[in-house]
C-alpha cells in the first residue's frame, strides 16, 4: 500500500525539481527526502528518480506516479477540509505569507487576534513577494498568501485559487523634504519627469507596474536605485537620492526628511488574500481571512465583497 507521506515527498520533488527546495517546503532534511524516495521506490518496485547532472529528474514511472500523487493529495485536502468544517473547530496549523508592507501593516493585528480567539490554532507566517506567495499556495507549501495588484495592472492568478479583498491601499509619492514640490497639495506625475526614481527589482511585478504607469503618463523613468522593501526606499528618499511611490499600508512612521504628497492621478493597489479552493471550507481558513479583513479595515482601507474564484475574479 502506498504511503501518503512518501507520495507527498514525490509530489514536492515533482513541483520543485530539486531535493533541497523540496526538503525546505516539507520542513525536513534532504537526507529524509532521499530516504523517503528510496522507500517509495522499493514499495512500487520501479525507479522513480534518475540523476540529471548534479540534480535529479523524474523517470517516466516517477512522472506517472507524481500525477496520481497530486490528485490523491488534493482529495486528502478536500477530506480534511470537510472534516474540519463538520467539527467547526479552528485548530491545527496554518501557514501564511505576505509581502513586506502587508506583513508589517496587517500581520501583527490579525495574528494576535487569531491567537487570542483560537488558541488551538498554530499560525506560522513569513514574508514573501506576491509571486512567490502565490506559487507557495499552488504547491501546497502555504495555506494562505496576502498578495497585491494595482488598479491598472491585475495580478494573474492560476485557476483553483480563491481570493478575498482585504483593502484598497492608496499611494502617494514620497519626496525629500527639500524637494521643489514638497509643499504642494498634489503633484502630477509629469512634474516628476526629471527626477530619479527609487523602485523595486528588475522584473518584479511592482517595478513593471511603475514603469507602465509612468510611461502611460508620458514620463520615461530614470531609475536611480532599487530596493525590495519600502522602508529602504524611503530611507533613500530621506537621503535625497530620488523619489518613490509610497502606499499607505505599512509605511508609517516616515523617516525624518521625507514628505508624502498625493498624486493628481490617483493610484491605489488592491491587497487581497488567496487560498486553494479545495480548502475553502476549513474553519481555520475562514477565521484567518476574517481576521485579515478586520485588520485591513482598521488601517482605513475598504474590503467589500465576498470571496471570489480566481478564474473569474483576477
Give per-residue pLDDT as tens, 172-219: 999 999 999 999 999 999 999 999 999 998 888 899 999 999 998 888
CATH of the domain at 220: 3.40.190.290
pLDDT in tens, 126-151: 999 998 899 888 878 899 999 999 98
Choose the final residue of a domain: 41, 62, 85.
85
Residues 6+ apart with CB under 8 A from 20: 30
Q: Which domain holds residue 282?
A: 93-314
Pair (55, 140) in one structural domain:
no
In this structure, what CATH number is given to the domain that contains residue 42?
1.10.10.10
Given a contact cutoff of 8 angstroms between Cβ atoms, the answer to whether 148 and 269 are in contact is yes
Pairing of strands 222-226, 55-58: unpaired
DSSP state for residue 239 in the 8-state scheme: T
Residues 135 and 171 in one domain: yes
Q: Tell which of 85, 102, 118 closes a domain.
A: 85
Helical H segments across the chain, by residue range: 4-16, 19-26, 30-44, 60-87, 100-105, 107-117, 130-139, 205-216, 230-238, 283-298, 310-313
Helix axes 19-26, 30-44, angle to 10 degrees: 100
| 190 and 251 together in one domain | yes
Q: Which of 60, 85, 110 is the last residue of a domain?
A: 85
Same domain, 245 and 130: yes
Q: Verify that 14 and 66 share a domain, yes or no.
A: yes
Tally of structural domains, the chain: 2
Q: So what's the pLDDT on residue 314?
A: 33
Task: Round to whole Å and give the CA distance between 263 and 281.
Answer: 41
Distance CA 39, CA 307 (A): 41
Spacing of C-alpha 51 from chain mean position: 32
Instruction: For the chain, 314 residues long, give each residue's pLDDT as a single digit of tens.
Output: 788 888 888 888 888 788 888 887 777 888 888 898 899 989 888 898 888 777 788 899 988 998 888 888 777 777 776 666 656 678 888 999 999 999 999 999 999 999 999 998 999 999 999 988 998 888 788 999 999 999 888 888 888 899 999 999 999 999 999 999 999 999 999 999 999 999 998 888 899 999 999 998 888 999 999 998 889 999 999 999 999 999 999 888 899 999 999 999 888 999 999 999 888 888 899 999 999 999 999 886 544 444 555 543 33
Amino acid at each position: 500500500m502506498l504511503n501518503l507521506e512518501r507520495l507527498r515527498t514525490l509530489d514536492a520533488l515533482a513541483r520543485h525539481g530539486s531535493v533541497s527546495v523540496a526538503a525546505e517546503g516539507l520542513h525536513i532534511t534532504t537526507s529524509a527526502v532521499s530516504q523517503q524516495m528510496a522507500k517509495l521506490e522499493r514499495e512500487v518496485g520501479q525507479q522513480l528518480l534518475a540523476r540529471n547532472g548534479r540534480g535529479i529528474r523524474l523517470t517516466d514511472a516517477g512522472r506517472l506516479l507524481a500525477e496520481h500523487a497530486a490528485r490523491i493529495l488534493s482529495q486528502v485536502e478536500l477530506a480534511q477540509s470537510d472534516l474540519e468544517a463538520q467539527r467547526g473547530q479552528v485548530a491545527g496549523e496554518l501557514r501564511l505569507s505576505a509581502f513586506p508592507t502587508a506583513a508589517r501593516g496587517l500581520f501583527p493585528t490579525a495574528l494576535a487576534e487569531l491567537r487570542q480567539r483560537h488558541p488551538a490554532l498554530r499560525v506560522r507566517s513569513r514574508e514573501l513577494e506576491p509571486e512567490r506567495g502565490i506559487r507557495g499556495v499552488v504547491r501546497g507549501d502555504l495555506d494562505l498568501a496576502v498578495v497585491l495588484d494595482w488598479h491598472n495592472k491585475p495580478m494573474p492568478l492560476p485557476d483553483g485559487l480563491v481570493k478575498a479583498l482585504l483593502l484598497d491601499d492608496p499611494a502617494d509619492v514620497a519626496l525629500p523634504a527639500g524637494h521643489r514640490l514638497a509643499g504642494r497639495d498634489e503633484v502630477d506625475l509629469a512634474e516628476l519627469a526629471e527626477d530619479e526614481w527609487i523602485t523595486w527589482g528588475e522584473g518584479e511585478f511592482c517595478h513593471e507596474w511603475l514603469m507602465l504607469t509612468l510611461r502611460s503618463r508620458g514620463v520615461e523613468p530614470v531609475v536611480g536605485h532599487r530596493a525590495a522593501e519600502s522602508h529602504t526606499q524611503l530611507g533613500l528618499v530621506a537621503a535625497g537620492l530620488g523619489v518613490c511611490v509610497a502606499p499607505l499600508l505599512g509605511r508609517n512612521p516616515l523617516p525624518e526628511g521625507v514628505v508624502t504628497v498625493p498624486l493628481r492621478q490617483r493610484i491605489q493597489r488592491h491587497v487581497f488574500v488567496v487560498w486553494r479552493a479545495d480548502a475553502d471550507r476549513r474553519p481555520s481558513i475562514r477565521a484567518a481571512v476574517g481576521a485579515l479583513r478586520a485588520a485591513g479595515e482598521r488601517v482605513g482601507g475598504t474590503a467589500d465583497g465576498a470571496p471570489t474564484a480566481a478564474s473569474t475574479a483576477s
